[in-house]
Amino acid sequence: MRRKTNENRGITLIALVVTIIIVVLLAGITISMLIGKNGILNRAAEAKEKTGKAGDIEYLQIEVNGILTKYYMDGAKNIEENEYILIELGKKEEITTNVGKGTVKYKGKEYEISEIKGETKEKTEIKANKLEAITISNVAKGSEEEELLKSDQVRMIIKEQGEKESIAVIPTGFYYVTGTPSTGLVISDKAEDDDKNTKKGNQFVWIPCNGKSGVTYEKTDDNAEGNHGLASYWKEDGYNGKQHFYNTIPSGYTNAGQEIIDWEDNGGSYESVKKYGGFYVGRYEAGVPETAEFYASKDGDKYETNGKKNAEEVKELSPVSKKNNQAWNYISQENAKILSENMYKESVSVKSSLIDSYAWDTIVRWVAKDSQYSGIGLDSTNYGNYYNNTGITENTLYAMHLYRSVKSAGQNNSAYTATWTAATKYRKGNITSGHIPNILETDRNKYEWEESEYSGGTEYYNYTVYKELATGASEKNKVKNIYDMAGNMWEWTTETGKHTTASGTTATTYAVLRGGGFNNAGSANPVSFRNGNYTTRGYFFTIGFRAVLYIA
């Protein structure tokens, strides 16, 4: 009996030592995950730092707008405007001001009063574009503009005179960057930002739905509460031939021949567009934020695929609308909706959401209204990095997706097996041709990639390159100051439809993609194209998304 007891004790001690070792290892891994360079706590702190300033500025602008209203409405003009603002702000317990220096300190950060008011570079650019800036200081008493400027949502109204008379409303927390309401007025959530996005603010473009340069918002009083169906403007403009998977599921797909029913889109914000005369669209496709662990920006960085980009934890992130950023692909429509709404979740002045069909069709109609872009809805070849676009020559940061065709020994020339490799961002060489180049085995060392395994022979290789651009990388893809709506990524919308099974039971929900991907032809897949053959949970390397802003 005693021997057995000792044996049990020996086993217990060994198990205890092993358990301690495992606990120590797990503790080390946990600590690394929490506080390491890419740890959860560090990423959360970075995200808070990057988004906190925009939120603080919005709050301070709301306070300043209220003070200015009092200053001009009550006639308290015995002191200079900035001095009055600083004195009044300083009365708030959480704010410290320095009248002599002209600074405001809030939550441990110090701001120039000009940064809060946006009156330095912003004023210069507005004047250079021959626009009129209407603020509470110069607004006509009793006018509609005055009512808007008294709210917390609006800090400035931009007016364009002459033949193209139109206005744009700049929401609180945002600054004028460039352009006019008729050519594409750009705003940023970062003071002193410019056309090249050097301050790295999120940028958006105004779509005017009133005035001489605007168009009628597709969603009207007649259909504001109803189902969307097929867009009336889209059909009227002859785009109805640019559709796929819209009435019945075509042959070659699961459930071929079955009817697609209940196409609808309850997205958008009709009341906001009606009140303010327009809305904002992301200037760039949604990009991956730098705080994401799968952010890739350096030469040779490998892209993460669906394992992380479409995972549950990404729902806590906020996408960006910035130039030369990694486009967020491998994302489902369901997650794209959540991410788009995250951008300004705490804002009192704007509401962000995934672009809807009303907004998309209105933008296409507005762009096509300009004579130089009149045919873009039917053929967008020259406005996207489609494989049949020969005009893109920028030497810039972009990704390549390699299509590997492997011919096994003994096979004839037409027998190939194809697999997708991982994508790589790199900065090597120009995009000199829209035609898909073949990379032979002897040239492949010029490129970087991660090869997929192939179980057969690998005697011959043939690599096909499709060119995914960084967001806003090519000026060739800019139309009315909006980049890449015609063909970098397919872009999710909030429009959905369902199909019925043979037994009549409603089954899978599909979501509509618009535009075209970089491996498509711009003539067959123009900006107006409506693609409904992906489910709301589907994702792919050529599918991304874009946010819109509605003033609250």
* Of 99 and 423, more confident: 99
Which of 179, 201, 223 is the last residue before a domain boundary? Answer: 201
Task: Answer with the residue of higher pLDDT: 479 or 389.
Answer: 479
Q: In whole angstroms, give the CA distance from residue 385 to residue 433.
A: 10
The residue that leads in pLDDT, 45 or 30, is 30
CA distances to 5, 84, 230, 238, 243 from 223, rounded to whole Å, are 82, 48, 12, 21, 22
**Does 421 have pLDDT greater than 50?**
no
Domain identity same for 451 and 491:
no
For residue range 283-331, what is the model confidence (pLDDT) as tens digits? Answer: 999 999 998 988 876 655 666 767 788 988 888 899 999 998 889 999 9
Same-domain pairing of 129 and 194: yes
Q: How far is CA 516 from the centre of its chain?
A: 16
82 plus 120 within the same structural domain: yes
Best-predicted range by mean pLDDT among 84-88, 197-201, 395-399, 464-468? 197-201
Q: What is the pLDDT of residue 393?
A: 67
Which has the higher per-residue pLDDT, 507 or 381?
381
Q: Are residue 483 and residue 454 in the same domain, yes or no?
A: no
Verify that 542 and 517 share a domain, yes or no. yes
**The domain containing residue 193 runs over which residues?**
47-201
In-domain check, residue 383 = no
Between 535 and 417, the higher pLDDT residue:
535
- Is the domain of 276 the same as that of 364? yes
**Residues 53 and 197 both lie in one domain:** yes
- Asked if the structure places residue 222 within a domain, the reply is no
Same domain membership, residue 238 and residue 337: yes
Given 3-state DSSP classes, what are the helix, strand and coil percentages for the chain, each rounded to the nearest 5?
30, 25, 45
Whether residue 224 lies inside any domain: the answer is no
Provide the sign of the torsion angle of the four alpha carbons 85, 91, 94, 98, taken in this order: positive
**What is the pLDDT, as a whole number, of residue 49?**
44
Query: What is the predicted pLDDT for the residue at 28?
Result: 63
Report pLDDT for 416: 40
Last residue of a domain, one of 201, 221, 249: 201
Q: What is the arithmetic mean of pLDDT over 441-465?
A: 46
SS3 462: strand
How far apart are alpha carbons 331 and 323 in whole angstroms? 20
Number of domains in the chain: 3
- Please indicate, yes or no, if residue 29 is contained in any of the structural domains: no
Q: Which residue has the higher pLDDT, 305 or 5?
A: 305
Task: Examine residue 350 and state whether it is found in any structural domain, yes or no.
Answer: yes
pLDDT value at position 195? Answer: 96
Of 27-36, 67-76, 103-112, 174-183, which has the strongest mean pLDDT? 174-183
% residues pLDDT > 70 (the chain): 67
In a shared domain, residues 459 and 484: no
453 in a structural domain: yes
Q: How far apart are CA 101 and CA 380, in angstroms?
A: 52
Q: What is the secondary structure of 297-322 as a DSSP string?
A: -STTPBPP-HHHHTSGGGGG---B--
Angle (CA) 210-216-219 rounded to 5° is 125
Same domain, 422 and 506: no
In a domain, 16, yes or no: no
Whether 107 and 141 map to the same domain: the answer is yes
Per the model's pLDDT, the better-predicted residue between 318 and 499 turns out to be 318
Q: d(Cα 121, Cα 217) in Å, to the nearest integer? A: 32
Asked whether residue 419 carries a pLDDT value surpassing 50, the answer given is no
Report pLDDT digits (tens) over 358-398: 899 899 989 999 999 999 988 999 999 887 887 776 655 56
Domain boundary pick from 469, 494, 514: 469
Which pLDDT does position 340 carry in this prediction? 97
What is the band of 81 on the pLDDT scale with cuts at 50, 70, 90? confident
Residue 406: pLDDT over 70: no
In a domain, 33, yes or no: no
Residue 222 has pLDDT above 70, yes or no: no
pLDDT of 185 above 70: yes
d(CA 187, CA 206): 8
Mean residue pLDDT of the chain comes to 77
Do the beta carbons of residue 350 and residue 550 sit within 8 Å? yes
Report the range of poorest mean pLDDT among 110-124, 200-214, 336-350. Answer: 110-124
Most confident of the ranges 216-225, 369-378, 441-450, 461-470: 369-378
Q: What is the pLDDT of residue 439?
A: 47
Question: What CA–CA distance (Å, rounded) separates 420 from 50?
Answer: 35
Shared domain for 346 and 446, answered yes or no, is no
**Does residue 243 surpass a pLDDT of 50?**
yes
